[in-house]
Amino acid sequence: MGLSIGIVGLPNVGKSSTFNALTKAQNAQSANYPFCTIEPNRAVVEVPDVRLAELSKIVKPERVLHSMVEFVDIAGLVKGASKGEGLGNQFLGNIKEVDVILHLVRCFDDENVTHVEGSVNPLRDIEIIDLELLLADLATLEKRIEKLTRQAKADKEAKAMLDIALELQKHLEETKPVRTFAKKEDEGFKILNKELRFLSNKEVIFGANVSEEYLAQDNAYVDSLKKYANENNCEVIKLCAKLEEDMVGMEEEERKEFLESLGCKEGGLEQIIRTGFYKLGLISYFTAGVKEVRSWTIKKGDSAPVAAGVIHKDFEKGFIRAETISYEDFIKYGGEAKAKEAGALRVEGKDYIVQDGDIMHFRFNV
């Protein structure tokens, strides 16, 4: 299981600069004019996790493998995108593929950087994109309703799905996003969402792109953004796209010292991935042996067999048991052998719920 984050926003708010910096790929064109990005840029990067380094000091493996996250830099959106304006339909189609939306919002003044709307106003910018996502969902849903209306005449299941679709249509017509729909646990809704992949149902992280002086303190733009995010159950991370690009190529220790000099504990990449994991309810467990120390991404609440299946489906099918040591105990006792001697190695069955940081060894038979 991986995490896919789509970077969206109005044209020219720093999306491509942020993508370049976060992925260290430097392959997204960045320029001071709208629609600089047409095809979505993609890059897969490692999920930062200091625990892997600590495990490696003990195990001394041949290689270390991190969990991975995909970043997608999606073309800028303008008013009317849901009707095909700008690169609208293409843009909206690309968003369907991602798990989480990183909605980058400009929160700095600079007369040398063009704003497509003529002025800096984070809440207006958010409203433009939110409305286009909502209108795109409404158009998609209306097409499905037409089909369901025909089917419902002779199909009870189609009738039940039509009812929930009509309720959702009314919800969207009141300019409320799918994510606030009250009946998301309804089976009919789940089927619709799986088929149509509603854009306004995706988790959103707002990225406040600020100038350097406002990394350690908030300006009025960030204050208004945080208030809005809090009211809409969204998260806000703050970054300076220009500085993130400047840090590309720095050694880890140099980068850490540079961030601390600015009053920051984390860079943009760490903030975004940590918040993305939190919003999607993702955690990591580890496998640790002389061949490799590796991180695996699962959903919080997954059982041991499901976690085993992330490595290989045969592990899940033939699951027998999981030998488990908590990360804290593995570090405390200096490895598997001594943890086992101390009674810290547990044998868990099919009902065990894997915890963040567990070191797992699966026994299976197929």
Span 132-145, pLDDT tens digits: 889 889 989 999 99
Return the CATH number of the domain spanning residue range 301-364.
3.10.20.30
Give mean pLDDT, residues 352-356: 97
Question: Does the annotation flag 17 for ligand binding?
Answer: yes
Phi, psi of 296 (to 5 degrees): -125, 140
Long-range own/partner contacts, residues 290-294 (CB < 8 A, 24 or more apart): 290/59, 290/60, 290/61, 290/62, 291/61, 291/62, 291/63, 292/61, 292/62, 292/63, 292/64, 292/65, 293/52, 293/55, 293/56, 293/59, 293/61, 293/63, 293/64, 293/65, 294/64, 294/65, 294/66
Q: Please report the pLDDT score of residue 354 as a whole number.
A: 98
Question: Does the annotation flag 15 for ligand binding?
Answer: yes
Q: What is the mean pLDDT of the chain?
A: 87
Contact between residue 26 and residue 55 where contact means Cβ atoms under 8 Å apart: no
Residue 60 has pLDDT above 80, yes or no: yes
Instruction: Provide the percentage of residues in the chain whose pLDDT is more than 70.
Output: 90
Fold of 131-200: DNA polymerase; domain 1 (1.10.150)
Span 97-140, pLDDT tens digits: 889 999 999 999 888 877 777 889 999 999 988 988 898 899 89
Contact between residue 259 and residue 265 where contact means Cβ atoms under 8 Å apart: yes
**Identical fold, 3-47+68-119+202-279 and 301-364:** no
The band of 80, judged by pLDDT with boundaries at 50, 70 and 90, is: low
Which has the closest alpha carbon to 354: 313, 308, 291, 320? 308
Domain range summary for the chain, segments of one domain joined by +? 3-47+68-119+202-279, 131-200, 301-364
Q: Give 3-47+68-119+202-279's CATH code, choosing from 3.40.50.300, 3.30.465.10, 3.30.390.10, 3.40.50.20.
A: 3.40.50.300
Span 156-171, pLDDT tens digits: 888 999 999 999 999 9
Question: Does the annotation flag 12 for ligand binding?
Answer: yes
Give mean pLDDT, residues 187-209: 93
Residue 37 has pLDDT above 80, yes or no: no
